[in-house]
Amino acid sequence: MKVFYKIAVLFAASILYMPAANAQKEPVPLPENFDYELYMVAKEVDGKKFHGPRASVRLCEKLLDNGTKTDVENVEKMMPGILSGQELNPESPHYGGFRWELEMEQVEDLNAVEFILHSLVPIMILHRDKLSDSTKVNIKKSIRLGLQNIAAMDVDLKYTNIVLKDITNTSLGGELLGDKAIAQRGYDKLKKWLAFTDKSGAAYEYNSLPYSAVAIEVLYRLQKYVKDEETRMLAKLALYRLGLSGALHLHTPTKRWAGPHGRAYHNAVIGDGDTYLLEQSEISSFRDWITDGKLPNWMFPVFEDIQFPDQVVETTGREDDIYTSCFLDENYSFGVGARNMFNQANRYIAWQTNVFSIHYTRPNNPQPGAIYTRYILDDKWLGYFSAGIGRGTSGLLPDEGHFQGLQDKERAIGLYIPYDMGANDFYSSAKSVVAIPRWAKSDEIWVDGKQVEAYPFMVPKDKTIVFKTGDILLGIRPFSLTNLGTAPQIVIDTKDDNTVVLEMYNYKGEAKTFWELAWPGAFYQGELRNGFYSEVSNTSKHTPKEFAKLIDQGSFTDKADPKFTYTGEGNRFWKVGYQRDGRTMSLKVDLLNWFNTPERIINNEFYQMPMLESNRAIQSNSGHLSLNDVELSCGKNSAWLYVSPDQKTVVAAYHGPEPAPFKLNLKNGEVFIKSLASGIVTWENGKVTVDGYKMEGKPKVRGGKLKKWIHG
């Protein structure tokens, strides 16, 4: 009787549960901009309709994740249009690549194949059983052909987000196709990329919006789905290091991803709307990545528990003298790049640089302020340039200059030269610009003890300009500016989009060529001089007049060697600097050889580019790291260490590849591994997790408990 009663209860419970368990899932609605004639996602730009395979194939992923019959049917209908974007002519130099838009006749953007395969490969890994046999065959053919195109292009290791797509598509695609040679190419390229990156510290395409987010998504997929154990471990190390870089740059008061940015779209720079994989408030995206498991939980305190102030410095291109610096304070973040990325002569990539960036809080306004710089030719502004067919003209305000910078906390120096301003083209103006968008009525500008009331305003030479905007003061003191004409050189003005600009002109006048800037040439005597000293403070500390007076109390250096006509030999140096209150900084560049290593001095010491340096995390290849009473001993290869302010969370990583003993010493504990080729050790409130490759013996833990141990 008791048995019968139990069966009856279980049966009744199952009946009650059935409606919830078998509740029909609703299909994902197709977007408003869906074109039912071509059965693809469409968009309209300047009155023209475009169909990009990338948007449609990402929608297919979403539909298959949901997985209703209607969703799958929609994918089956969409896939022919997506695959029709692939170049199938064997005579084409881009055989196997994809057109960015179906409306394009030729393959131009060589990255399109990477974006498409980044969706097609996971679709086949996760959802192939849902698809018809014919669709599966067609997708596999497309993947194989795309991987041939990817291998033929063999993208350079400096193009971070695309080389990581190459690695991921090739590794996972090769495993999917059962082609060991293809997969091995992906495994090997990951090793090459990590070894290249470890020479510097952080990824070359530094701190990029949104491409760091793209790289995080790509590496997450690789470490989650790849079958090769060493590749999984290296992908996880790369993912966590990239995530750590982002977390260190998150500024909680503004909720922004602080600069500088190797690449960034304009709306991301000023914080105006979402950008691809990033929300307008980038910190929200980061929190979602952690909550969703793309990044580990220990990254929460990296940015949530920050103790201000902190300066984060990362080297991203050691062979190109590129490192980034970011100072984070309670009301603002201030980031400066030592250089812009100059590895690609590609207008769609090189012009996206954002080397000087400030984000700051504004009273009674949830949207933070932003300040950025550019070098601009011909007085162009937002709206003249498109990043590609089908993308419109609102996404980029190109930087047409090469930059060199130096930062010491709240102080910085920035120098600019134009990209290519010689005797082959005509130019009507050339200038560097400091831009402050969303200028408020309460904001103020002060010059020489007086508030600026009308625009344009001509600034006299050797004067400090102070901008009071939101909760900060920004002081700017221009250095000497080469004048190729006779017009006023320093002007404060406004733009139609409510942006206030400080313009520092090298030329303004009739359109003309510049023989004196042409190299090779018979009149070349060096690059233009254009630059400024800058300093940020909080409005609670000074009035604008007081801040200008404080800056003016310092001593400025601004000295250029005499001109001579260059024949290919010799140097002509320009040294600029600032000194006050016992703190010094100077930057010396070669006007005849701009890309030579500059002389950087901070507080009377030549500045050495660290792999990673901050109050919260460090990186080194010395074999010994020490931070906040925590020490890591490992092999003399790239390793990094994060310590939370309360020291309850410690993360130590070793990139290898040579196996070596690994020892992590804390105040009240220790983790020892006899030998490790690569891996990550996490200590959270005494609970220890170890994930390692070629690990010898079981980790020994003192003062804590080994919670999880993964070894390959």
Does residue 466 carry a pLDDT above 50?
Answer: yes
Cα separations in angstroms, 431 against 357, 401, 481, 505: 18, 9, 10, 4
Question: What does the alpha-carbon distance between residue 556 and residue 534 come to, in Å, rounded to a whole number?
Answer: 12
For the ranges 168-172, 250-254, 383-387, the lowest mean pLDDT is seen at 383-387
Is the pLDDT higher at 396 or at 82? 82
Instruction: Please give the structure tokens belonging to residue 204.
Output: 């070359």
545: buried, middle or exposed (CB in 10 Å: 19+, 13-18, 0-12)? middle
**What is the pLDDT averaged over residues 206-222?**
95
Q: How do residues 178-191 score in pLDDT, each as one tens digit?
A: 999 999 999 999 99
Residue among 383, 401, 371, 340 nearest 501 (CA):
371
Question: What does the alpha-carbon distance between residue 342 and residue 641 come to, in Å, rounded to a whole number?
Answer: 30
**pLDDT band at residue 10 using 50, 70 and 90 as cut-offs:** very low
Residue among 99, 208, 126, 107 nearest 164 (CA):
208
Q: How do residues 639-684 score in pLDDT, each as one tens digit?
A: 999 999 999 999 999 999 999 999 999 999 999 999 999 999 999 9
CA angle 235, 237, 240 (to 5 degrees): 105
Under 8 Å between Cβ of 573 and 560: yes
Does residue 388 carry a pLDDT above 70?
Answer: no
For CA atoms 450, 452, 457, 462, give the dihedral sign: positive
For CA atoms 270, 271, 275, 278, give the dihedral sign: positive
Residue among 419, 377, 417, 422 nearest 516 (CA):
422
SS (H, E, C) 69-93: HHHHHHHHHHHHHHHCCECCCCCCC
Residue among 491, 474, 484, 494 nearest 536 (CA):
474
Q: Looking at residue 397, what is its pLDDT?
A: 87
For CA atoms 484, 487, 490, 495, give the dihedral sign: negative
Phi, psi of 294 (to 5 degrees): -70, -35
**How do 678-684 and 700-702 pair as beta strands?**
unpaired
B/e letters for 147-164, b = 16+ CB within 10 Å, e = fewer, are: bebbbebebebbbbbbbb
**pLDDT band at residue 20 using 50, 70 and 90 as cut-offs:** very low
DSSP 566-612: -SS----EEEEEEEETTEEEEEEEETT-TTSPPEEEETTEEPP--SE
Helix ranges, 199-309 (H): 211-225, 229-248, 266-270, 282-291, 300-304
Q: Please measure the distance between the N-terminal and C-terminal CA atoms of the chain and give it in whole angstroms.
A: 54
Question: What does the alpha-carbon distance between residue 415 and residue 339 come to, in Å, rounded to a whole number?
Answer: 10
Amino acid at site 340: N
Under 8 Å between Cβ of 561 and 572: yes
CA angle 606, 608, 613 (to 5 degrees): 130
Average pLDDT, the chain: 94
**What is the pLDDT averaged over residues 509-513?**
98
Under 8 Å between Cβ of 326 and 311: yes
Phi, psi of 498 (to 5 degrees): 65, 35
Q: Looking at residue 8, what is its pLDDT?
A: 43
**What is the pLDDT averaged over residues 380-387?**
79
Q: Looking at residue 700, what is its pLDDT?
A: 97
Q: Looking at residue 7, what is its pLDDT?
A: 40
Instruction: Please give the structure tokens belonging to residue 84.
Output: 């029709």
Q: Residues with Cβ < 8 Å from 179, sequence gap 6 or more?
A: 144
CA angle 289, 625, 315 (to 5 degrees): 60
**DSSP assigned state of 24:** P
**pLDDT band at residue 103 using 50, 70 and 90 as cut-offs:** very high
pTM of the shown model: 0.94
Q: Looking at residue 9, what is its pLDDT?
A: 41
Residue among 429, 319, 438, 333 nearest 374 (CA):
429
Residue among 459, 468, 442, 446 nearest 549 (CA):
446
Q: Looking at residue 598, what is its pLDDT?
A: 98
Q: How do residues 424-459 score in pLDDT, each as one tens digit?
A: 999 999 999 999 999 999 999 999 999 999 999 999
Residue among 268, 194, 264 nearest 621 (CA):
194
Question: What does the alpha-carbon distance between residue 119 and residue 57 come to, in Å, rounded to a whole number?
Answer: 6
For the ranges 30-44, 75-89, 305-319, 336-350, the lowest mean pLDDT is seen at 336-350
Does residue 601 carry a pLDDT above 60?
Answer: yes
Q: Looking at residue 280, what is its pLDDT?
A: 86
Does residue 18 carry a pLDDT above 60?
Answer: no
Whether the bond into 488 is cis, omega within 30 of 0: no
Q: Looking at residue 4, what is its pLDDT?
A: 38
Instruction: Please give the structure tokens belonging to residue 323.
Output: 């490192």
Q: Looking at residue 262, what is its pLDDT?
A: 94
Cα separations in angstroms, 68 against 72, 78, 125, 169, 420: 6, 15, 18, 27, 55
Q: Looking at residue 23, what is its pLDDT?
A: 58
**pLDDT band at residue 394 using 50, 70 and 90 as cut-offs:** low
**DSSP assigned state of 28:** P
Helices (runs of H) and strands (runs of E) counted in the chain? 14, 39
